[in-house]
Amino acid sequence: MSYPNQPNPYGPPQGPPAPQYGYPQQQPMQPQPMQPQPMQPQPYAPFPAGPMGPGGMPGIPAPHQMPGSTKAARIMLFILAATGVIGIIIATIGLNQISSASANYSGLGGDADGMFAIGKGAIVFVMILQAAYAAVALVLALQYSKGGNGIRVGSIIFGSVSVLCSIPFAISVYGIPSFVLSILVIVFAAKQESQAWFMRPRY
């Protein structure tokens, strides 16, 4: 007599798996496709500030056109250059008169000839100074459109020297305009907007 095969008590359990008690079985996570993120609007960047002021503080914005005070200083320099040319013309007329007088009194000799020679030398010296004065004023004025901060500093120095040279002639018709114009050059060139113009970035 034969018996049916008995299940091996040491083998794996037969039949469906027993239900698990407690939390339900979790399903494996499926990778989710990346969703495109909407573009966030970026705030507008501020405009670049102008030249840095004293102590690293930002100054006024760099101007794109020559400010009014800078134009005024430039005009004053052109006028001062013109006064230098006028001074040369006046000195030339005086030199011609002294030369004519020297020719008329050439026979006197002695101190008269020496005085005429000193007068001619003084007038020639004044003409040289007037020519240099007019040339410096003209060069400074022509560099206002593309020059750097050195042109502004040079204008202030030129105006200061011109004021000192005009003081002895301030009571004359010729000295008053030069005295006033020189002061205006110093005032306009020293303004902050003039400094911003000459220190603006150049590309």
Measure Cα distances from 40 to 1, 29, 43, 47, 72 in Å.
Answer: 86, 30, 9, 21, 49
Q: Determine the pLDDT at residue 109.
A: 57
In-domain check, residue 49: no
Instruction: Give the chain's domain count.
Output: 1
Domain that holds residue 134: 65-198
Question: Model confidence over 135-181: pLDDT tens digits?
Answer: 999 999 999 988 889 999 999 999 999 999 888 776 666 678 889 99
In-domain check, residue 138: yes
In-domain check, residue 120: yes
Burial profile 16-39: b = 16 or more Cβ within 10 angstroms, e = fewer: eeeeeeeeeeeeeeeeeeeeeeee
Question: Model confidence over 27-85: pLDDT tens digits?
Answer: 555 555 555 555 554 544 444 444 444 433 355 566 778 899 999 999 999 999 999 99
In-domain check, residue 114: yes
In-domain check, residue 45: no
In-domain check, residue 55: no
In-domain check, residue 42: no
In-domain check, residue 164: yes
